Amino acid sequence: MKRYAIPRLMTKLLLPLILLFALYVQFHGDFGAGGGFQAGVIFGAGFILYALIFGLDSAQKLMPHWLLRIGVPLGVLIYASVGIAGLLMGGNYLDYGALDPHNPPHGHHLGILLIELGVGITVSSVMVTIFYAFAGRGR
């Protein structure tokens, strides 16, 4: 793929847009259609596209293995700790309302945002990890 100018150029043009769109889907999730799952997949797909065009090595420079290793459990931990935070504030597990006792809707916003962030991190790391695992196998 290294020799073809058009795919490389298009990727360079598209990649920031894809990542930006992923972030939009991520953070707009509590008002409209979207959320962590979708955003994570879009984000991961952006990286996979990059790896396809510029080769696995340069992609791994951009998104090294150790980062993914941390990313996968980190997202789940964010999710769980938001749940436990609700527990500590006196509500039930995953009780968003308890996050901000004076203003439950605000607590809901905060809770959803953090949860979706956790989901997004995990999903995108998992997607890229799966891709690396398969692509790195034959060598």
Partner 1 sequence: MSAPLSFLFRPGRAAWLFATATCWLTLLMAILLLRQVLAEGPISYPMGSWPVPWGIEYRVDILNAYMLVLVAAISAVVMSFAQLIVERRIRLPEHKQPWFYTAYLLCMTGLLGITITGDAFNVFVFLEISSLSSYVLISIGRDRRALTAAYQYLIMGTIGATFILISIGLMYVMTGTLNMADLAARLPAVAHTRTIHAAFAFLTVGVGLKLALFPLHLWLPNAYAYAPSVVTAFLAATATKVAIYVLLRFFFTIFGPQFSFETMPLDLILLPLALIGVFSASLVAIFQDNIKRMLAYSSVAQIGYMILGISFVSVTGLTASISHLFNHALMKGTLFMALGCVSFRIGSTQLERMAGLGQSMPWTMGAFVIGGLSLIGVPLTAGFISKWYLILGALEKGWWPVAVLILLTSLMAVIYIWRVVEVAYFKPAPEGQIVREAPLALLIPTWTLALANLYFGLETSFNAGVARQAAEMLLGVAP
Partner 2 sequence: MQILGLYNYWIFIVLMMCGFYVVISRGNLVKKLVGLNIFQTSVFILYISMGKIFGGTAPIVINQPDVVYSNPIPHVLILTAIVVGIATTSLGLALVVRINEAYGTIEEDEIHAQDQEEAL
Give 38 or 59: the residue with its C-beta nearer to partner 2. 38
CA atoms within 13 A on the CB side of 20: 5
91 is a site residue for partner 1 (CB under 8 A): yes
Interacting residues with partner 1 between 95 and 124 (CB under 8 A): 95-98
Q: Tell the residue number behind the tokens 């995108």, with chain if given.
A: 124
The pair phi, psi for residue 106, each rounded to 5°, is: -65, -40
CB of 13 to partner 1, least distance (A): 37
Give 53 or 82: the residue with its C-beta nearer to partner 1. 82
Cα distance between the two ends of the chain:
17
| Residues within the interface to partner 2 (CB under 8 A) | 31-33, 37, 130, 133-134, 137
